[in-house]
Copies of this chain bind each other. A is one copy, B any other.
Amino acid sequence: MADVARAVGVSTGTVSRALRGQPGVSDAMRRRILRAAESLDYVVSPAASGLVTGRTGSVAVLVPFISRWFHAQVLAAAHQVLRGSGFEIVLYHVEGTAERREFFETLPVRRRADGLVVIALSLTDEELARLNGLGMPVVGASTDLGPAPAVGIDDVAGAAKAVRHLANLGHRRIAMIRSTDEEGFHGGVSRRRLAGYEDAMTESGLEVDPALVVSAPWGIDGGARAMGELLSQRTPPTAVFAEADEIAIGALRTLRRAGIAVPGEMSVIGFDDSPMAELLDLTTVAQSVHEQGLIAGRMLVEAVQQARVAEPAVRLETRLVPRGTTSARPGRPGTAG
């Protein structure tokens, strides 16, 4: 910056003001300074300016499984608005328990970011406390942060929509496939969707048979395994609600291999409306993933710049997307799907 100042013949203070568009610099001088900076290929040192302003100019994003469609989608959207607001994004990807613990123990965001957005992570109370003690704004996307602002969907209601759809089709034995989630990455979501399942079941006058709620590791293989378990029961269900599309897709695989017709003999419904669901014609419950990322990004910008968020708790709508994997209960006249 001193070089630029010397080249133009002014003080560094003036250069600083000119470069940041602050008042107190004549237009002519500003132009000369900008031109000089350009020709000298000069950019301000974020370190130096951060040192005096106390702001880093970047925000952190904490995300567990970046290669899952949902997470990547939210990240991309949040990235878009954050970069649009002039922030750099520093990424903390925690794929396993070790990395996760390391993050919450060392809190590498301290002094490195002006804010943090947490994507799709179920937090323990202690982790929550750590984040709140961070001294920087934190917002959640598909993540419950207690007092801190967050955007998400009503998982209970969404799951209930799925199950109600099955009940409306005449199904009475409706199973649910949950993810085991030993590491606590999405236990919250899973629990809420279970609650929605139970709500819709009782509301429809159906018994919640504990044997019909099975768990398996998150993902296609897990879903496949869980479906196998359901098929081996004395009275298998006629319809299955899977906590997520990927799980439902695993269930479909098992059904295909077992030669069980979908939806003829078994209805399957997922959750999220991922591209895979569309491809495989899977009935599901859609949520606007991209928008959650956008909103989370905007919330964080607000929180960082204005120190408060106008609407700190946003609930987006879910929407049933009927496709080809659900139909009326076999052996019963009804509205085929």
Closest CB-CB distance, A119 to chain B, in whole Å?
A: 12
- Complex alpha-carbon distance, A48 and B48, angstroms: 7
- Select the stretch in A8-16, A106-114, A150-158, A171-179 that faces chain B: A106-114
Q: Point out the residues of chain B lying under 8 angstroms from A88, CB to CB.
A: 90, 108, 112
Per a CB cutoff under 8 Å, which of B43, B76, B90, B275 touches A66? Answer: B76
Q: Point out the residues of chain B lying under 8 angstroms from A83, CB to CB.
A: 92-93, 99
Does A307 make an interface contact (CB < 8 A)? no
- Complex alpha-carbon distance, A133 and B110, angstroms: 32
User: In the complex, which range does the number of interface residues on chain A fall in?
Assistant: 35 or more
Per a CB cutoff under 8 Å, which of B58, B111, B275 touches A45? Answer: B111
- Complex alpha-carbon distance, A61 and B79, angstroms: 13
Closest CB-CB distance, A287 to chain B, in whole Å?
A: 15
Per a CB cutoff under 8 Å, which of B73, B99, B107, B279 touches A220? Answer: B279
Are B249 and A279 neighbours in the complex by a CB distance under 8 Å? Answer: yes
- Complex alpha-carbon distance, A121 and B108, angstroms: 29
Q: Point out the residues of chain B lying under 8 angstroms from A72, CB to CB.
A: 66-67, 72
Q: Which residue of B lies closest to A108 (CB)?
A: B88
Using a CB–CB cutoff of 8 Å, the interface residues on chain A facing chain B are 43-48, 50-51, 56, 58, 61, 66-67, 69, 72-73, 75-76, 79-80, 83, 88-93, 95, 99, 107-108, 110-112, 220, 249, 253, 275-276, 279
29 example contacts (A-B, Cβ-Cβ < 8 A) are as follows A43-B107, A43-B110, A43-B111, A44-B111, A45-B111, A46-B47, A46-B111, A46-B112, A47-B47, A47-B50, A47-B51, A47-B56, A47-B111, A48-B51, A61-B91, A66-B72, A67-B69, A67-B76, A76-B93, A79-B91, A79-B93, A80-B93, A83-B93, A88-B108, A88-B112, A89-B91, A89-B93, A91-B91, A253-B279
